[in-house]
Amino acid sequence: MESRSKGIIAAALAYIIWGVIPLYWKQLGMVSSDEIITSRIVWSFILTVLFVIVIRQGKPLVTDLKNLWHNKKAFWALFAAAYLISINWFIFIWAVNNDHIIETSMGYYINPLISVLLGVVFLKEKLSKAQVLACIIAFAGVMVLVIANGSFPYVSISLALSFGIYGLLKKRIKLDATRGLAIETLFILPIAVIYYIYLIMQGDTALFHSDTKTTLLLIGTGAITAIPLILFAVGAQNIPLYLVGFFQYIAPTMTLFIGAVVYGENFGGIELLAFSCIWLAIIVFSISTFIKPKKIKAILETE
């Protein structure tokens, strides 16, 4: 199979898994969100390290750790990123198991726009007029929910901000995706283990104390975390960036469908109006992002 086809299949599978992941977390609805996130960290670390060893990447992993230790700026950036992604995971799991799946969908729809704004603020990147318009339209969509419901969409914004800042921190840290996940989970592993011991001492754990299905699902949180990240890494390495950008909307679209159709969460006229603003913003943003490189290429060819 040629690399482009392999990349397309891998990226699509990664986003499909991320899209259906609420179905997985719903199966753990009887388990507290804090135990689920703790299990996810512990088993992600175990599975990822085992995978790294199997593919004979153990020595590069040790080298990565040494390089990070000697580059304190990168070390602490990745350390902060590890805790941010943990916060992101916790918010998502809590939201899914407390009937806010549609809000998580909006969060990941607006995430690219949040990332653009973070680039403007922290990296001094410049926006085109079309990109500014896209951000204004998205903001209007959020305000529709605020005015209509009288409350701020904390879940959506928290997910978008935490993942956006996570991406910003990792932007300048060049690490293999699998080894990077191993290091990130290593950073948060001590807290997770200490908290798990606390839960065990309180007699408040489902792992090995509940039915076999629940125990296997908790152990499987490592696989459900690592597999799509590995697939995404394969995809990103073999397809153009614009295709990666296109695929990223698969997950929130599937999540929106699952929330509204499978679990019957409210999706009335107000929600449709708000999401329509977000979708329009995405269309404007995507077109401007796609056309800009074309214009630059045309200018270069003319010269």
> Among 9-23, 87-101, 121-135, which is the least confidently predicted range?
121-135
Average pLDDT over residues 161-181: 84
274 lies in some domain? no
Rg (CA), the chain: 20
Average pLDDT over residues 188-202: 91
Residue 102 corresponds to which tokens in the numbers above?
Answer: 């549609």
142 lies in some domain? no
231 lies in some domain? yes
The answer to whether 36 touches 271, Cβ cutoff 8 Å, is no
| pLDDT higher at 216 or 246 | 216
pLDDT, position 226: 85
What is the spatial distance between Cα 111 and Cα 39, in angstroms, rounded to a whole number?
A: 26
Over 80: is that where the pLDDT of 169 sits? yes
Segment holding 216, helix H or strand E: helix 212-219
DSSP secondary structure letter of residue 176: -
* Segments forming the whole domain that contains residue 106: 3-126+154-267
Mean pLDDT (the chain, rounded): 86
Over 50: is that where the pLDDT of 270 sits? yes
291 lies in some domain? no
Residue 149 amino acid letter: N
pLDDT, position 111: 85
214 lies in some domain? yes
27 lies in some domain? yes
Over 90: is that where the pLDDT of 234 sits? no
37 lies in some domain? yes
Confidence class for position 301, pLDDT limits 50, 70, 90: very low
Per cent of the chain over pLDDT 90 is 44
| pLDDT higher at 205 or 258 | 258
Over 70: is that where the pLDDT of 290 sits? no
Q: How many domains does the chain have?
A: 1
Q: Could you tell me the CA-to-CA distances from 251 to 173, 246, 273 in Å, in that order? A: 25, 11, 20
283 lies in some domain? no
Average pLDDT over residues 47-63: 92
pTM of this structure: 0.86
